Amino acid sequence: MLGVIVNVATVIVGSLVGVLLKKSLPEKIAKMMQTAVALAVLYIGIDGMMSGENTLVLVLSMVIGTLIGTLLDLDTRLNNLGAKIENKFKSKNSDGRIAEGFVSATLLFCVGAMTIVGALQSGLSGNHEMQFTKAILDLISSIILASTLGWGVILAAGSVFAIQGSIVLLAQFVAPYLSDYVIGEMTCAGSVLIVALALNLLSITKIKLMNLVPSIFVPIGLCLLIK
């Protein structure tokens, strides 16, 4: 779990630094930074979408996953949780974006091949090199994201711990089902969500992203059936 703990620590430290920067940034600069972050996130999403090989898997994953997320109403549940947290720790510095920051950071930090492969390497061989590399990237990303979205970003440290930690602990059991092909399709589906995240950050759309999150995991089952 060393790699996971280091990654969680970098997200927390980066988020704290970002929040401190946010307080000192003029509104005009903060808005431009958010635009810059959104464009960078858009690139990350488009690049990750190239990992997929089977369009049918992507389409079915998005449809099935979105159906599951919408029926469970995950977006409303998450926003209600964010509202409760915000009310509990409400202060003059609160900007009402805790849920948005949490969802945005969770998608950015937990979706992608580095998350899955790095955690598998840690769990199977004790090799934390990829997770350490990801931790450095997440440190930079959390600083930039928290400087625009605020305190909600730090909550994503819990997501990093839960998701990566689960893969590490279950590595020997899940590894047979997470071939390069499956990881590629999961990354592709997750990257579609990252593109949607970028569009939200640019205020072009208001997609309820949390309702789409189950789409990331659907390829695990579909790949076994289709290929």
- Pick from 213, 212, 112: which is nearest to 167 by CA? 112
Contacts 24+ apart (CB under 8 A), 28-37: 30/147, 30/148, 33/144, 33/147, 33/148, 34/148, 34/149, 34/201, 35/201, 35/202, 37/144, 37/145, 37/148, 37/201
pLDDT at 115 over 80: yes
The predicted structure's pLDDT at residue 90: 60
**Token pair of 20, please?**
């401190």
| Identity at 205, one-letter amino acid code | T
d(CA 168, CA 120): 6
Q: Is 186 exposed, middle or buried (0-12, 13-18, 19+ CB in 10 A)?
A: buried
Q: Is the pLDDT of residue 222 over 80?
A: yes
pLDDT tens digits, residue range 191-209?
Answer: 898 899 889 888 899 888 8
Distance of CA 71 to the CA centre of its chain: 21
The radius of gyration of the chain from alpha carbons, rounded to an integer in Å, stands at 17
Tell me how many domains the chain contains.
Answer: 1
Which structural domain, as residue segments, surrounds residue 136?
A: 2-226
Distance CA 16, CA 146 (A): 8
- What pLDDT does residue 91 have? 54
Closest-CA residue to 158 (of 146, 166, 150): 166
Mean pLDDT in the chain? 86
Q: Residue 94: pLDDT band by 50, 70, 90 thresholds?
A: low
